[in-house]
């Protein structure tokens, strides 16, 4: 079980909760969240995410990560303009924050 802030992720059952509320995620949304939470507090490059989540070393679409990230943020209730959970570090990648900002 991974727990960062008020988000819990169980890799064995593929379940996710924010607080007491269970959140249904697609397979790719779950894998993206898992990759980010497993490296919470550190920046994960888009290249690493493409390799780990989409199992490819080339960009199938420059918007693939952005689209899935948008869906994931909405489901988690993380405002993309002022995110508390997943921060975009321009030119470097994404970071799951270890504490509310």
Phi then psi for residue 92, to 5 deg, are -125, -40
CATH number at residue 39: 1.10.10.10
pTM above 0.85, yes or no: yes
pLDDT computed for residue 55 by the predictor:
87
pLDDT computed for residue 95 by the predictor:
97
- How many domains is the chain built from? 1
User: Is 101 among the domain residues?
Assistant: no
Phi then psi for residue 74, to 5 deg, are -60, -45
Residue numbers of the domain that contains 60: 2-96
pLDDT computed for residue 99 by the predictor:
87
Average pLDDT by stretches of 10, the chain with 101 residues: 97 97 97 98 94 79 86 95 94 91 58
């Amino acid at each position: 079980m991974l727990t960062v802030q008020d988000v819990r992720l169980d890799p064995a059952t593929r379940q996710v909760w924010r607080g007491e509320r269970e959140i249904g995620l697609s397979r790719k949304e779950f894998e993206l969240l898992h990759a980010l939470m497993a490296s919470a507090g550190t920046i994960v490059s888009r290249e690493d995410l493409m390799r780990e989540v989409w199992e490819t070393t080339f960009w199938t679409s420059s918007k693939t990560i952005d689209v899935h990230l948008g869906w994931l943020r909405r489901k988690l209730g993380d405002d993309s303009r002022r995110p508390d959970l997943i921060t975009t570090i321009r030119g470097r990648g994404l970071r799951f924050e270890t504490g509310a900002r």
